């Protein structure tokens, strides 16, 4: 840090120069991100609540009430009347909280010390962080040819050390939904904690189902489901950071509670101490602003764009890795290896990512991608083919 103060103007100019290095969602070139530009109204509300701290809810009773209302709305959307949970920084923190709840619950009620979690190959890497921090062993369930959990392999992976089973509603790489109903039964029969990671799909599957899309059940209407992760900062159009963790029972929060001596409340179950109330307020506002009808329109529009790109790709001759279930497409070039293909697209200004399982170009059709961008993209893809 320099000794003398610098005037605002100079600082702002410097920052906007550096900011130019960042890509812009509005340019329609970011095709590999699960985040998007937040809605302007959500940003406006976010700024109004910047000083609120949900780590000390006795001082921010209003904002704590707002967080409770958001959890209730999201829980209701997921078929749970009395949900418990928190608005956290994202899917990663939500997944870590779920696994921590499962581990502590199994330790308290089953005496499991060296616990294991069963996750599919397609699971988000946040579960590796969770296992590492919580000292749990990862047991991987195999995938079927359709890249969803092989239920038999999952059944075989269960042991008397299993503290949690994880399945995914909207995988990070392909946007696919695991056979959650079957897995829920298995978890319930074996009395094992079952967590559904719907970080990506949570703000779209319920609305698509209501609009008549043929998608499987994934929520609390299945009795085995103990918790669900949902990210408002993906298809919910809330500002970053906003993740949601919803628990079926309060006891899952209680088994994580630690004493919080200097605060206005006696215990705390979240991982983070001082934490944003702005995320809760912005998510509250944007959910009210859109309502089910608004989100349904967004979700259907994203699927329309996905099918538009799919048809364009197939017309050129590209082969998709799988039929899309949500707004993610993965495909390969007949001759060029995926990473080289991604580099070619990068040189043309398209920011795509490469999936690992299977190796393929992956495009996420978020709200900032418009049909006009897709038309331009298809022109470039035609030239490369
Ligand atoms: C995005 C995502 C995560 C991680 O969420 P962050 O908000 O990036 O922490 C976890 N699981 C799934 C399925 C995701 O799509």
| pLDDT digit string, tens, across residues 60-101 | 999 999 999 999 999 999 999 999 999 999 999 999 999 999
- Classify residue 125 by burial, with Cβ atoms within 10 Å: 0-12, 13-18, 19+: exposed
Same-domain status, 325 and 202: no
Residue 231 near ligand 1, beta carbon < 6 Å = yes
pTM: 0.97
The dihedral region occupied by 170, where left means phi > 0, alpha psi between -120 and 50, and beta the remainder, is: left
Minimal-distance CA residue to ligand 1 atom 12: 199
Single out the residue in 287, 312, 345 at which a domain terminates: 287
Same-domain status, 265 and 346: no
Q: How far is the CA of 94 from the centre of ligand 1 (A)?
A: 9
Residue 39 DSSP code: P
For residue 243, give the ligand 1 atom closest to its CA. 7
Residue 197 near ligand 1, beta carbon < 6 Å = yes
User: Is residue 20 situated within a structural domain?
Assistant: yes
Same-domain status, 73 and 30: no
Same-domain status, 34 and 46: no
Whether the predicted pLDDT of 165 surpasses 90: yes
Residue 232 near ligand 1, beta carbon < 6 Å = no
Pairing of strands 162-168, 319-320: unpaired
Q: Ligand 1 pocket test: which of 199, 229, 233 has the largest number of ligand atoms within 8 Å of its C-beta?
A: 199
The pLDDT tens digits of the residues spanning 105-159 come to 999 999 999 999 999 999 999 999 999 999 999 999 999 999 999 999 999 999 9
Distance CA 273, CA 268 (A): 8
Single out the residue in 226, 261, 287 at which a domain terminates: 287
Minimal-distance CA residue to ligand 1 atom 3: 91
Q: Are 364 and 30 in contact (CB under 8 A)?
A: no
Same-domain status, 256 and 306: no
Residue 23 DSSP code: -
Same-domain status, 216 and 278: yes
Q: Is residue 243 helix, strand or coil?
A: strand
Domain count, the chain: 2
For residue 241, give the ligand 1 atom closest to its CA. 7
Same-domain status, 245 and 336: no
Maximal CA-CA distance, the chain? 67
Same-domain status, 45 and 34: no
What per-residue confidence (pLDDT) applies to 265? 87
Q: How far is the CA of 23 from the centre of ligand 1 (A)?
A: 20
Same-domain status, 23 and 45: no
Distance CA 130, CA 110 (A): 20
* Percentage, residues of the chain above pLDDT 90: 98
For residue 200, give the ligand 1 atom closest to its CA. 15
Same-domain status, 266 and 304: no
Single out the residue in 263, 287, 311 at which a domain terminates: 287
Whether the predicted pLDDT of 262 surpasses 90: no
User: Is residue 380 situated within a structural domain?
Assistant: yes
Residue 172 near ligand 1, beta carbon < 6 Å = yes
Q: Are 194 and 165 in contact (CB under 8 A)?
A: yes
Same-domain status, 45 and 173: yes
The pLDDT tens digits of the residues spanning 242-259 come to 999 999 999 999 999 999
What per-residue confidence (pLDDT) applies to 263? 85
What per-residue confidence (pLDDT) applies to 126? 98
Q: Which domain does 67 fall in, by range? A: 41-287
User: Is residue 150 situated within a structural domain?
Assistant: yes
Nearest to 335 by CA among 319, 315, 351, 324: 319
- Classify residue 294 by burial, with Cβ atoms within 10 Å: 0-12, 13-18, 19+: middle
CATH number at residue 191: 3.40.640.10
For residue 170, give the ligand 1 atom closest to its CA. 13
Minimal-distance CA residue to ligand 1 atom 10: 91
The pLDDT tens digits of the residues spanning 31-66 come to 999 999 999 999 999 999 999 999 999 999 999 999
User: Is residue 4 situated within a structural domain?
Assistant: no
Give the confidence band of 362 by pLDDT, cuts at 50, 70, 90: very high
Residue 92 near ligand 1, beta carbon < 6 Å = yes
Q: How far is the CA of 353 from the centre of ligand 1 (A)?
A: 15
Residue 199 near ligand 1, beta carbon < 6 Å = yes
The pLDDT tens digits of the residues spanning 1-33 come to 999 999 999 999 999 999 999 999 999 999 999
Total residues found in the chain within this entry = 385
Same-domain status, 64 and 191: yes
What per-residue confidence (pLDDT) applies to 264? 84
């Amino acid at each position: 840090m320099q000794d003398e103060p610098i005037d605002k103007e100079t600082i702002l100019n410097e920052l906007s120069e550096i900011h130019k290095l960042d890509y812009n969602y509005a340019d329609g070139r970011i095709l590999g991100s699960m985040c998007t530009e937040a809605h302007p109204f959500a940003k406006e509300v976010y700024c109004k609540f910047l000083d609120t701290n949900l780590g000390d809810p006795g001082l921010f009773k209003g904002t704590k009430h707002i967080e409770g209302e958001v959890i209730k709305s999201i829980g209701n959307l997921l078929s749970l009347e009395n949900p418990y949970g928190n608005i956290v920084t994202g899917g990663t923190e939500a997944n870590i909280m779920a696994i921590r709840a499962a581990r502590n619950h199994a330790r308290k009620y089953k005496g499991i010390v060296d616990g294991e979690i069963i996750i599919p190959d397609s699971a988000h890497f946040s579960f590796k962080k969770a296992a590492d921090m919580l000292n749990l062993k990862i047991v991987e369930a195999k995938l079927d040819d359709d890249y969803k959990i092989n239920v038999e392999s999952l059944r075989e992976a269960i042991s008397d050390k299993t503290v949690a089973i994880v399945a995914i509603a909207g995988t990070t790489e392909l946007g696919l939904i695991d056979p959650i109903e079957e897995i829920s039964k298995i978890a319930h029969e074996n009395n094992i904690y079952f967590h559904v990671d719907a970080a990506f799909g949570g703000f779209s599957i319920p609305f698509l189902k209501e609009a008549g899309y043929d998608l499987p059940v994934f929520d609390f209407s299945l009795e085995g489901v103990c918790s669900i992760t949902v990210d408002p900062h993906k298809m919910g159009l809330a500002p970053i950071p906003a993740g949601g963790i919803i628990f079926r029972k309060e006891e899952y929060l209680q088994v994580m509670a630690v004493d919080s001596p200097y605060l206005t409340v006696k215990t705390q179950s979240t991982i983070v101490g001082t934490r944003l109330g702005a995320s809760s307020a912005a998510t509250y506002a944007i959910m009210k602003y859109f309502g089910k009808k608004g989100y349904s329109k967004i979700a259907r529009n994203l699927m329309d764009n996905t099918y538009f790109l799919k048809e364009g790709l197939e017309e050129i001759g590209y082969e998709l890795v799988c039929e899309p279930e949500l707004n993610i497409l993965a495909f390969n070039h007949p001759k060029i290896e995926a990473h080289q293909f991604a580099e070619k697209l990068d040189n043309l200004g398209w920011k795509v990512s490469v999936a690992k399982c299977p190796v393929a170009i992956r495009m996420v059709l978020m709200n900032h991608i418009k049909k006009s961008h897709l038309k331009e993209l298809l022109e470039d893809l035609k030239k490369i083919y």
